Amino acid sequence: MTFVEVLIKNSSDIWEQYLEHPFTNGVVDGTMDAEKFKNYIIEDSIYLNAYARAFAGGMYNSTRREDLQFFYKSLNFIEEGEGSTRVYYLKKYNLTDEWIDQQEPKPENKEYIDFMLGVAKDGTALETWMAILPCIFSYAYIFRELTKSAQVDESNPYKRFLDDYISENYHNYCVECGKYVNKLTSQINMTPEYKDKLSNIFRKSSLCELEFWNMANRK
């Protein structure tokens, strides 16, 4: 079992709740309340601004050019992929980035942002990956799993959102991230204590993801 597989296994109780969540299921079957999804897009936009800063922190803490380049490559991938879909929904809801920049995150979102940026500020490049990976991996996991048994209809208002995360392009990026992080962990002395530290960061971010879905499901 690779280290990334161990991370996910250690948080599997949380991840299974993603699949049972009314928000994620409502998006897949198209019944999600439009106002709730609009509020989700607002909070997600606030979060993604902080997410970019976490990648910048990872770059700052990188001591090897290879690590810096992969953070940079990943940030570009997310900006070009998730960023374009986010802009699509912002326009649909008559929202602007300028307006988003003036909004305060809801408490659950703020807790997630503060945790993630704290790790990026004070931790190593590898520890930063532990804080940001659950977001990357879980979206692919959730929506690929949920759409296995549910056809995404063309009339689904969230089809563009879903298409991003069930695409082969996004899946391949997740695989690449997993291989990269496994490579990183193989190059350092991973004591049991340090493995636990990394796993705890990953699990905390996974919990923050769950709270984000809970937040999104409340008007």
* Mean pLDDT, rounded, for 132-145: 98
Q: What is the pLDDT of residues 20-32, one digit of tens each?
A: 999 999 999 999 9
Is the predicted pLDDT of residue 135 greater than 80, yes or no?
yes
Q: What is the pLDDT of residue 81?
A: 72
Domain of residue 177: give its range.
3-216
Give the mean model confidence (pLDDT) for residues 97-111. 97
Domain count, the chain: 1
Q: How crowded is the C-beta side of 56, counted as CA atoms within 13 Å?
A: 7
Residue 155 pLDDT level (bands cut at 50, 70, 90): very high
pLDDT in tens, 52-90: 999 999 999 998 999 999 999 999 998 887 678 888 999
Domain with residue 34: its CATH number is: 1.20.910.10
Mean pLDDT of the chain: 95
Q: What is the pLDDT of residue 126?
A: 96
pLDDT 10s digits, 32-43: 999 999 999 999
pTM as predicted: 0.95
